[in-house]
Amino acid sequence: MYLQPQNLNEALSMLQESNPKVIAGGTDVYPTLSAGHQLAKFLDVTRIHGFNEISSGDGVVRIGPAVTWSDILQVNLPPAFDALKQAAFEVGSVQIQNVGTIVGNVCNASPAADGVPPLLALDAQIELSSSERGTRILPLSKFIKGVRNTDRKPDELISAIIVKSAPPGMRSAFEKLGSRRYLVISIAMTAVNVLLDDDGLIANVRIAVGSCSAVAVRLHRLEKELQGKDPRDVSILKSHVASLSPLDDVRGTAVYRLAAVQEQIYRSLRRACDV
C-alpha cells in the first residue's frame, strides 16, 4: 500500500489508522532494513501542501519535511546557514541531493548524519504534529535520543524544522572528513556558527561535532571559553574535545577522530570568521 496524502490532517489520519513507514526521498529506506524484512505500507509526505517549502517570517525560518538538500543549496539563506549549505553539498551524489530530504536525515538519527551538526549550531527545533495531541516543539538536541532513536511517537509526523533568526552578522562553516572527498560516510565533522563584536572578538559561538559520539553534540564548555577571544589567537586543545566518545571502527580510530575534530574546529572557526 502506497499512501500519498495531500494535506497534514489527512496524513495524520492515515498514520494513525494503518501505521505505515513514513518516507520522503526514500534514499535510506531499503539500505537500513534488516535482512529478509519487507515493508507493506508507505506514507509519502512529498505531496503534502507546504511540505516542500522553506519560509521565513516572525523571526523564524521553517524548513518543510519534503525540502531536499538541493533545495537548501538553491534557496537564498543568511550566512548563518552557510554550514548547512556546505553540508548539503557533501551529502551523497547530486542524485541523492535531489531527492533526499533534510528531515529524513534527521529522522534516521545516524551518528554520521551530515545535517545534524549544522542544525545544532543553528539551535534548530523540531515541530511534531499528532491528530490527537496537536503540535509540540522541542530542541533538536532532545529529539535525537541515540543511534537510530528519536523522540517521535508512532502517531506523529515532523511538520517542520524551525530555526530562530540568528543574530545579524553571524556566520558559519562546516568541515567533513571522510576516506575520500565525496560520496562517503563521515569519519568526523564539525559545524561552527560565530558572531564577532565590533573589535573582532568572539561574541557568540556555537560548535557542534558529529560522528564522534552516539549523537552529534554541542561543545558548550568550549563555546564559553572562546567568548571574548580573538579568533586568530585561538588554539584547540585535546581537553576541549575530551567530552566526546568516538569509536574505533574501519573508518578511523578514536584517537584519530579526536585529533581530526581539533583541527576541524580550528579551521571552521577561522573560515567562518574569514581570518
209 lies in a domain? yes
Per-residue pLDDT of the chain (275 residues; tens, 9 = 90+): 999 999 999 999 999 999 899 999 999 888 877 777 888 899 999 999 999 999 999 999 999 999 999 999 999 999 999 999 999 999 989 999 999 999 999 999 999 999 999 999 999 999 999 999 999 999 999 999 999 999 999 999 999 999 999 999 999 999 999 988 777 899 999 999 999 999 999 999 999 999 999 999 999 999 999 999 999 999 999 999 999 999 999 889 999 999 999 999 999 999 999 99
Task: Round to the nearest angstrom and report the end-to-end CA distance of the chain.
Answer: 55
- Per the structure, the complete domain to which residue 260 belongs is given by 171-273
20 lies in a domain? no
CA distances from 120 to 100, 197, 206, 220 (A): 19, 22, 8, 11
pLDDT in tens, 234-257: 999 999 999 999 999 988 999 999
User: What is d(CA 161, CA 105) in angstroms, rounded to the nearest whole number?
Assistant: 12
Q: In this structure, what CATH number is given to the domain that contains residue 267? A: 3.30.390.50
Task: Look at residue 130 and give its three-state secondary structure.
Answer: strand
164 lies in a domain? no
117 lies in a domain? no
Residue 36 contacts by C-beta under 8 Å, 6 or more apart in sequence? none
258 lies in a domain? yes
145 lies in a domain? no
Phi, psi of 124 (to 5 degrees): -65, 150
Number of residues written out for the chain: 275
* Number of domains comprising the chain: 1
pLDDT in tens, 94-116: 999 999 999 999 999 999 999 99
82 lies in a domain? no
Residue type, 210: G
Q: What is the pTM of this model?
A: 0.96
240 lies in a domain? yes
Quickly tell me which residue has 576541524 as its cell: 264
